[in-house]
Structure 1
């Protein structure tokens, strides 16, 4: 009888020690799960225009139209062709940080938010409704084409590498190309311009591929 009592007491003590040990072991495991076990969310870029995002899905840069694209999927893209996709808003294109070539012809764009895409070389945005374009920080820019838009102004004084500016059918009233010594192609037909400001060297040797309206002129001072 006494042996049975000893056995019962021993079993109870052993059980309590085991439970205490289990609780101590669980505590650091739970802490680990809360701190290090949770997967960190990958950076995403917001895409406001569903037509823009659908185009990215078709190009395999995204997998569904949900308002976001993984930033890692677009940050190394160098060429982007988005012609005739019904796009009205390109918000999010800023995160295409290595973008060099952009085609967005035949959309419904009123603006191009590419002022920080510092690697851009070619912009083709014909047949939209773009009213302004900020390219002052795009030092590598070589070609701009905005045929039949609503462009009211453009400052290209910082774009020394610019070779082509094709902007017929816009609303430009002033244009200064005097700082663009590499400019070989210029088309400003059908704008409300009367004068294109040039440098004295340009005026002395107007390139053959510069085209202006017959009643417009070149001058070193258009004021």
Structure 2
């Protein structure tokens, strides 16, 4: 009986004793895993064969693993990883790991450990690492000299002042964006295809030796200049917000995307960039823009420059055009039939014809010199702005006013009538016009004749009561001089009286309307 009890006690206490020895001195054949979240991840991945949280894992279970993905597991201690001796690929991003020691993982070729608060990273004792992504950590130094096979290095949003790439001649991708760099030397990295070094404080970026480069993002730096004349394979260039005074792109005939807004350019010649699809050259001082003679352009932003004219006729695939804030007296968009967005606010336009642009959804021609605008042929409009012009005619009867979420036609003092689908229009929460301007389903109707024959209002000026004599039922809305609605209601056939006693002295506008037409009149309250 005593022997039986002893066996029972030993059976149930041995596992506890083994756990107590870990991590100080693990039992033979076991590896300590002191981080519970790390062990739970191994259990979930069915790597820990005993499927029990006991602070250890059989070494045989992990020594044959070649790929380990433990991202987003809240792991703070990777003790035990050293016995993953066959590990080739480690994915451990989005953990909380101040220290990551990979020195014993000599088979590693690919390491992904970004966004993990790492301040101390020890790389493997090998020369076979080809991929390293340690971005968004707290690293300030790294030694890449032992890794001549490295092809991709991603280390954005750390604390690097510089990184030595002289031994990494096979590098194809470097990402050091959002680091406080004082220098960047990539002259020996002739295989480089992609370089991301934006928002680093660099004043120079020398890529003259990187003739294979296809993507260069060097924007948001105080650049003194940028030479891309040797980068004939370049397809994508971001150099916006960089203080550039000039940019020669005559040799970059593979360029597809160019974002270079907020610089100081006066002239931009893109005549050789026949593959260009996406151009943003806004917020410069450009008065001479030469676009490529091609139909590849789909997005064209040239806002806030000093352009007097622009040629847009070849671009029948153009979807977005923005020349807000220039000096354009006219724009021909007759061939740009794919346009869905057209932004021409704050120019010198006298006329605009959008009759061919039936796909337009967003159209802004505000703050120009327009006297007439017709968007009746644009059934897809979602936003339309024509405010601050000299309009006397506006036809917005496109058969789909219910789809028009934003409509601004205010600050057109000579505009008496806006032609719309029905009166009153649909939800007009974001519609704006001058109080004296009326909506009508047919602005050709003689408003003065309607006033004399069907509607009589008196007295004017008034002190208390406004009388309205009508021949049929209408609705009415009263606006103050600021365009605020102060009263509304229904008018019945015969004589109606509206009490103005509670209104302050001043100028008001009354709009009287039905489903077919409307009538506006200025009222003075004394």
Q: 1:42 to 1:134 in 2, by over 3 A?
A: closer
Normalising by structure 1, we get a TM-score of 0.74
Q: 1:136 to 1:106 in 2, by over 3 A?
A: closer
Which structure is larger by alpha-carbon Rg, 1 or 2?
Answer: 2
Indicate whether 1:56 and 2:42 are aligned: yes
Q: 1:212 to 1:65 in 2, by over 3 A?
A: same
Shift of 1:179: 0.7
Q: Is the 8 A contact 1:48 1:67 kept in 2?
A: yes
Name which of 77, 87, 90 aligns with 2:75: 87
Indicate whether 1:102 and 2:102 are aligned: no
Q: 1:186 is matched with which residue?
A: 174
Q: How many residues align?
A: 176
Q: Is the 8 A contact 2:102 2:123 kept in 1?
A: yes
**Deviation digits for residues 68-118 of structure 1, max 9, x if unmatched?**
100000000000000111101101100000000001111111121111211
Q: 1:206 to 1:101 in 2, by over 3 A?
A: closer
In structure 2, what is the Cα distance between the partners aligned to 1:93 and 1:168? Answer: 25
Q: Is the 8 A contact 2:101 2:123 kept in 1?
A: no
Gaps of 5+ in 2: 1-26, 207-526
SS at match of 2:82: helix
Normalising by structure 2, we get a TM-score of 0.32
In structure 2, what is the Cα distance between the partners aligned to 1:74 and 1:176? Answer: 34
SS at match of 2:188: helix
Shift of 1:207: 2.6
Q: 1:145 is matched with which residue?
A: 133
More helix by share: 1
Q: Is the 8 A contact 1:42 1:70 kept in 2?
A: no
Matches within 5 A, 1:4-19: none
Name which of 90, 95, 114 aligns with 1:126: 114
Q: 2:194 is matched with which residue?
A: 209
Gaps of 5+ in 1: 1-40
More strand by share: 2
Q: 1:68 to 1:207 in 2, by over 3 A?
A: same
CA RMSD of aligned residues (A): 1.8
Indicate whether 1:113 and 2:101 are aligned: yes
